[in-house]
Amino acid sequence: MTGHARVSEGSATGAPTQEGALVEVRDLNVTFRKRSLFQQTRSVRAVKDLSLQIGESETLGLVGESGSGKSTAGRAILKLVPAESGSVRVAGRDVYALNESQLRDARRDMQMVFQDPYSSLDPSATVGASIAEPMQVHEKLSKREARSRAAGLLDRVGLRESYLDRYPYEFSGGQRQRVAIARALAINPKFIVCDEAVSALDVSTQNQVINLLEELRGEYGLSYLFIAHDLALVRHISHRVAVMYLGHIVESGPAERVYSDPAHPYTQALLSAIPDASPYREKQERILLRGELPDPANPPSGCPFQTRCAYVMDICKESMPGKTPIDSGGDVACHLQTSGPELRGAPLGTLATTKPPSTALGAEK
Amino acid sequence: MTDSSITANERSSADSREVESTDDTLLRIDDLRIDFATDHGWANVINGASFDVSESQIVGLVGESGSGKTVTSLSILGLIPFPPGRKSGGHIWYRGKDLTEMPMEALRHIRGNEISMIFQEPMTSLNPAFTIGDQIGESYRLHRGASKKAAMQRAAEVLDLVGIPNAGKRVRDYPHEFSGGMRQRAMIAMALVCDPKLLIADEPTTALDVTVQAQILELLAKIREETGTGIVFITHDLGVVAELCDKVVVMYAGEVVETAIGRDLFIEPKHPYTEGLLTAMPQLGERGEKLGSIPGRTPEPWAMPEGCRFNPRCRYAQAKCREKVIPLEDLGGGRASRCIRVHELELEGAR
């Protein structure tokens, strides 16, 4: 299943070859358990059989609604939450096979930038101390060396060196996020997970931070896993995009292809829901999804999207669809590819023109 | 100009004629000024804001954080606490009465009854200890003197109206049993329970996913269609404004800097700040290009720049922009701009 997907993705994108992928995640499963004394243990499978690759200096966008498991996936890849099964390789090291001191060493290659820099930066430490800390821990730099490098990093992210002795509360949201980025860069990582890193910022500040991330990627050859719910932003920054729904990656592929020719009905609905301010673009028919994301603790049988899908067939309620490669790049997990209308690698748009969702729905009834 | 822009202009001029010819203005904010006490003395946060809202009209109030859009909306219902806030000028006319001069008792009669508000955070605005039905029915009992039973029935009615399945049963649920999108629907139901004439929605979809946001926007448009309610829609998302609003009011640093009707704003902005916002929107069709951004940040209320408040961040700023306070100039057709160079600049709209 995954081997299949790799070949198709590698061949269809101009991105670095997947063979030497910097980050390689295979069949990752994360389950949260809630034990209580008198009740049965409740478990939520937050991430299910997640596989993805990210090449060197490549950005993979991970999109999905809240509750889709995208943040959990990002954290599990860095082993910040434990995975139940599966493997994660970052820069040649199997993250889940390492002992604690090896893991600490491996963390130099992988860093994270969180959504809210106010809660991820120590409010009682100066910005300089926060940025210097990882260098002192990992590279055993002296205080003075670390401080001078911290000054250089502040300068690199567009802040004045004199800010070294200031505290996080003295900064605006955008500046704080720059500090968080400087800290993530401090030990020359190869891979950074950006979890909703700019979601809390105003649009013009957000763009400055995005431009900075892009510059740094080019400069240091960084790879990003860019987790966000803003689809337009993800489109802008990502080479490839993966769409998550209820713990599963339902579709992935080159960003151009996923956005212009979505192959999964969920991707199609998600894209049609983006409000568009352009007075010139043709208004597209909005696909209004009924209801909301099902309870992750009690997921539907078969395909996770079957309860809200306009094209739902009997087989969708019975089994989880496997991955089918899409001719124009990437792959999709949808029964439409192999059953019913049998798209066989064609994007969903071809179906919509011949058979509108309403007819598909009517036929089902 | 392309075909689509011409049609948009035609449509908007039709819209503006409608607005001018009818006398169904619900709310008129007139030269409103609000100050807040700070460590730096009285800081002016709303400076001469003026706009109006008609029946069945959805007015978008747009700006970045710190632009004063939320303070403006709170002041309509007298929700600005004194101290630290104070009104230092202007009026808020609602059907011939000045809400800012109204005694608290009378204002209380209007709040949640004729004018109601939807807040951004449904999680913090709902009381976890009462059922959804109790909370929706509360203002119905208060304003209409309805019995507990009748209020519950009415609550089920409006909950059904906002698209909650099995509303008759769900009124007995507690907020924690509702999902985020459902809670926001419950908040909207609460605002609708007394058939308000005017609805103020402060970033009602900001915390929601796009698919749920699409459902809520559809719902608000339907409510306007069916009940003729006027809506003030506060947001920072210009995409949402383009989808939903009949009229747009752009605010910056406590001032209205531009107003427009229909899609005019997106085709041909008349203020450099609006241009900055429009060009900063990430587009769906491209990668690699640098995203546009407005340099600097919104000024602090106690350190407002001289002259035009936007001048330090404006790429078109000249010496004359710093000399004196720039008034909001009426450009006709429902358009106005607070830019002294509006007639010489050709600004870029949304792509």
Are A287 and A357 in contact by the 8 Å Cβ rule? The answer is yes
For chain B, list the domains and their CATH numbers.
Answer: 3-120+196-265 (3.40.50.300), 121-195 (no CATH), 267-337 (no CATH)
Test B213 with A288 for CB contact under 8 angstroms.
no
> What ipTM did this prediction achieve?
0.78
Identify the CATH homologous superfamily for domain A2-254.
P-loop containing nucleotide triphosphate hydrolases (3.40.50.300)
Residues 6 or more apart in contact with residue A245 via CB below 8 angstroms: A64, A65, A68, A266, A293, A304, A305
User: Given a cut of 90, is residue B3 above it in pLDDT?
Assistant: no
User: Given a cut of 50, is residue B11 above it in pLDDT?
Assistant: no
User: Given a cut of 60, is residue B292 above it in pLDDT?
Assistant: yes
User: Given a cut of 90, is residue A17 above it in pLDDT?
Assistant: no
* Poorest-pLDDT segment among A18-22, B184-188, B194-198: A18-22
* Poorest-pLDDT segment among A123-127, B288-292, B326-330: B288-292
3-class SS at A194? strand
Between B59 and B212, name the one with better pLDDT.
B59
CA distance B181 to chain A (A): 8
Closest C-alpha to A184, from A148, A220, A208, A218: A220
Test A275 with B294 for CB contact under 8 angstroms.
no
Residue among A65, A203, A236 whose CB faces B211 most closely: A65
The CA dihedral of B212, B215, B217, B223, to the nearest 10 degrees, is: -140
Neighbours of A353 (CB within 10 A): 7
pLDDT tens-place string over residues A304-345? 999 999 899 999 999 999 999 999 999 999 999 888 777 777
pLDDT of A81 reads: 92
pLDDT of A335 reads: 92
**Chain B residue whose CA is closest to A269:** B211
The proportion of chain B whose per-residue pLDDT surpasses 70, expressed as a percent, equals: 92
Strand partners, A191: A110, A223
> How far apart (Å, rounded) are the C-alpha atoms in residues B323 and A247?
58
3-class SS at A126? coil
User: Given a cut of 90, is residue A170 above it in pLDDT?
Assistant: no
How confident is the model over A200-222, as a mean pLDDT?
89
Test B297 with A205 for CB contact under 8 angstroms.
yes
Residue A195: phi, psi to the nearest 5?
A: -95, 105
pLDDT of A5 reads: 39
Residues 6 or more apart in contact with residue A303 via CB below 8 angstroms: A309, A316, A317, A319, A320, A321, A333, A334, A335
How confident is the model over A119-147, as a mean pLDDT?
91
User: Given a cut of 80, is residue B188 above it in pLDDT?
Assistant: yes
Which residue ranges make up each domain of chain A? 2-254, 259-275+289-364
User: Given a cut of 80, is residue B122 above it in pLDDT?
Assistant: no
pLDDT of A19 reads: 55
pLDDT of B205 reads: 85
State the Cα angle at A40 between A34 and A43, rounded to 5°.
40
Residues of B in contact with A277 (CB under 8 A): 238-239, 241-242, 266, 278, 281, 350
User: Given a cut of 70, is residue B285 above it in pLDDT?
Assistant: no
pLDDT of B345 reads: 92
User: Given a cut of 60, is residue A247 above it in pLDDT?
Assistant: yes
User: Given a cut of 60, is residue B204 above it in pLDDT?
Assistant: yes
* Poorest-pLDDT segment among A334-348, B168-182, B204-218: A334-348
* Poorest-pLDDT segment among A337-346, B156-165, B294-303: A337-346
List the 21-80 stretch of B: residues with Cβ below 8 A of A: 64-65
pLDDT of A363 reads: 36
Mean per-residue pLDDT over chain A, rounded? 85
pLDDT of A295 reads: 82
pLDDT of B10 reads: 43
User: Given a cut of 80, is residue B20 above it in pLDDT?
Assistant: no
Test B179 with A292 for CB contact under 8 angstroms.
yes
Residues of A in contact with B276 (CB under 8 A): 204
Looking at residue B250, the DSSP 8-state letter turns out to be E
Are A210 and A224 in contact by the 8 Å Cβ rule? The answer is no
Residues of A in contact with B263 (CB under 8 A): 279
pLDDT of B191 reads: 92
Tabulate helix, strand, coil % of chain B (nearest 5): 40, 25, 40
Between A353 and A146, name the one with better pLDDT.
A146
Q: How would residue B210 be classed by pLDDT, with cut points 50, 70 and 90? A: confident
CA distance B5 to chain A (A): 7
pLDDT of B83 reads: 79
CB-based contact, B243 to chain A, within 8 Å: yes
pLDDT of B286 reads: 60
Between B48 and A278, name the one with better pLDDT.
B48
pLDDT of B17 reads: 37
CB-based contact, B349 to chain A, within 8 Å: yes
pLDDT of A283 reads: 67
Residues of A in contact with B252 (CB under 8 A): none
pLDDT tens-place string over residues A108-123? 999 999 887 778 889 9
Q: Which residues of A touch B (CB under 8 A)?
A: 65-66, 172, 174, 202-205, 207-208, 210-211, 214, 229-233, 235-239, 255-256, 259, 269-270, 272-280, 286, 288-289, 291-293
Mutate to test the interface with A, among B11, B177, B241, B287 (most CBs of A within 10 A): B287
Test B284 with A235 for CB contact under 8 angstroms.
yes
How confident is the model over A204-211, as a mean pLDDT?
87
How close are the terminal C-alpha atoms of chain A, in Å? 32
pLDDT of B288 reads: 61
Q: How would residue B189 be classed by pLDDT, with cut points 50, 70 and 90? A: very high
Q: Does residue A262 have a cis peptide bond before it, meaning omega lies within 30 degrees of 0?
A: no
Strand partners, B239: none
Residue among A202, A230, A280 whose CB faces B351 most closely: A280
How confident is the model over A158-171, as a mean pLDDT?
90
